[in-house]
Chains A and B, each alone.
Chain A
Amino acid sequence: MEYHELTIEKAGKLLCDHQISSFELTSALLDRIEKYDDEINAFITIDKTMALEQAGKADLDIAAGNILPLTGVPIALKDLLCTRGIKTTCGSQILNNFIPQYDGTIVKKLKENGAVIIGKTNLDEFGMGSSTENSSYKITKNPWNQDYVPGGSSGGSAVAVAAGFCCAALGTDTGGSIRQPSSHCGVVGLKPTYGRVSRFGLVSYASSLDQIGPITKDVKDAAILLNLISGNDVLDSTSAKVDVPDFTKAFDLFEKGSLKGMTAGIPKEYLCVDGIDPEVATVFNDAKKILGDLGVQIKEISLPHTDYVVAAYYIIAPSEASANLARFDGVKYGFREKDCDDLIDMYKKTRSKGFGPEVKRRIMIGTYALSAGYYDAYYGRASKVRTLIMEDFSKAFATCDFILSPVAPAPAFKIGENIDDPLTMYLTDIFTLSANMAGIPGISVPAGFSSKGLPIGIQMMAKRFDEMSLLRAGYGFEKTINLDVRCKI
């Protein structure tokens, strides 16, 4: 048995049966991190003592028979989630010394369910990026081939799962930041419906788009984690008061009836997107066939405003970011530049030194779009286009259960390849942005490899609060394709 290959489900069973202890498991994973992470750079912060303390406590709980769904299971967290007593940097120098005084609701829920927090993972600064190259601390490498990016912005979390540094991780997704790195790293990534999961204690990037979700080794684990993190929270007024089903029931649905009766829509506009890599197209077509063989009816649908999604997103997200990031001013927390003339000078120097180039670029775009005289032309118009995008999806879901698409137009690119061309980087988000714009859930499931051996995933999106359909179809697909996605580092 290899510790680093354990899923939540398998680790839970071995812990419960007293075949392993959480202390052994956590120590083995910490050793693995120590051995490999100097090169791969998945983590920003590891608190070994705290992790082993939590593991020791979990072992006592197991001995006493107090076993919860995550008791003793090591989980990694994107460093955008506030953890009490553990530095939370958001990948930014402006928070290089920030130690939250509280746990975010989701961190609290994981701990209450017995999880061991193994570390905080690297990310594009504040979640702004698609390659994890925009972290101000380190560049995370793709464990399948270290010359390549892992995707982003939750690159550290996806890599931590793929490299076997944890059983599972949490990421956040504002425009694809869970699904795209999961696709590039050969793991499962689920962005829940907007409002499904509380965001209290998640440092805000774009509040109408941000969502927390699981990154896991298989679809079952995604359902297990989603069960634990879902639900209304009085501390987040955007968390919805809707029922939370038992998402693991999705697997019974598959076992009983395969995927018969389900309909998948393929947006015709997605197939004519410029620059779809032929290997991605092949993986996508093979996936379509597998789903068809499982009884899914495949039909063509239309999302007429697809061509405007990237443009609308890159007004809305930076506008919200420019407002949200105004709080980093050197007064209440984080880095402050010394020896400034006055308050304004202190703000400017602190922010200019504390933020990296991509964050500054997005704050600038957002400030411009919201400034007097331009609001209607940019933010106003983009928000109306967003309405049209949402309507496209509502119409589509009247005729299908889920939408099938690639996750990214190409497999992972080489480190440094796109870093000086922000627009090209933005355009790679074309298939993932819509789910955030429409508030719907999306999942990325491993579906194949490029000729260079880099993983390629497929995406499924469903209507609001219908993660169940995604998990059912995702599980059926995963079981049938039976791909070996164990990464050898």
Chain B
Amino acid sequence: MKISADEVAKIAHLARLEVDASQKEKMAEQLSHILQYIDKLKDVNVEGVKLSSGAALMNNVLREDKKKISPGPSVTLANAPQRDEDFYIVPMVVK
């Protein structure tokens, strides 16, 4: 699969990344190179093969549903880049 510079821009938007105009071609080339290699997966016959979503034991590991004390906002917001007491501040969402 070959990726164009326009597709790079589209994927970058979905990934919430910015790719400099000067880097778009290089990124497109590198991604195409990687995806071309990955295309070899098409050679594998996967008909009737189940999809495995992980390597965990195939049973759920549950814990007791017990009430616990929350660490509270002084802990959970300790690393906030910008805050107003117990709230995170973010740039305006609605104009």
Interface of A toward B, CB cutoff 8 Å? 97-99, 101-102, 194-195, 207-209, 232, 234, 237-242, 305, 307-308, 310-312, 314-315, 322, 326, 329-336, 340-349, 351-352, 355, 360-361, 363-365, 367-368, 371, 378, 380-388, 390, 422-423, 426, 436-439
Instruction: Write out the residue numbers on chain A whose beta carbons fall within 8 Å of the beta carbon of B3.
Output: 368
Contact B38 A314 (CB under 8 A): yes
CB distance from B53 to the nearest CB of A (A): 6
Q: Which residues 62-80 in B have Cβ within 8 Å of A in the complex?
A: 62-64, 71, 75-80
CB distance from B91 to the nearest CB of A (A): 5
CB distance from A397 to the nearest CB of B (A): 14
Interface of B toward A, CB cutoff 8 Å? 3, 7-8, 11-12, 14-19, 27, 30-31, 33-35, 37-44, 46, 49-57, 60-64, 71, 75-82, 88, 90-93, 95
Contact A322 B78 (CB under 8 A): no
| A371 to B3 Cα, complex, angstroms | 14
Instruction: Write out the residue numbers on chain A whose beta carbons fall within 8 Å of the beta carbon of B11.
Output: 364, 367-368, 371
| A351 to B35 Cα, complex, angstroms | 23
CB distance from A359 to the nearest CB of B (A): 10
Interface of A is mostly: helix
Contact A332 B46 (CB under 8 A): no
Contact partner, B91, options A97, A346, A381, A426, Cβ 8 Å: A346
Contact B90 A363 (CB under 8 A): no
| A314 to B35 Cα, complex, angstroms | 9
Contact B40 A364 (CB under 8 A): no
**27 A-B pairs with C-beta separation under 8 A:** A208-B53, A237-B60, A238-B56, A239-B61, A240-B56, A240-B57, A308-B43, A311-B38, A315-B38, A333-B79, A334-B81, A346-B91, A351-B16, A360-B17, A363-B17, A364-B17, A364-B31, A365-B35, A368-B3, A371-B14, A378-B38, A382-B41, A383-B52, A384-B46, A385-B41, A387-B52, A390-B55
Contact B16 A332 (CB under 8 A): no
Contact B81 A387 (CB under 8 A): no
Contact partner, B90, options A311, A331, A334, A378, Cβ 8 Å: A331
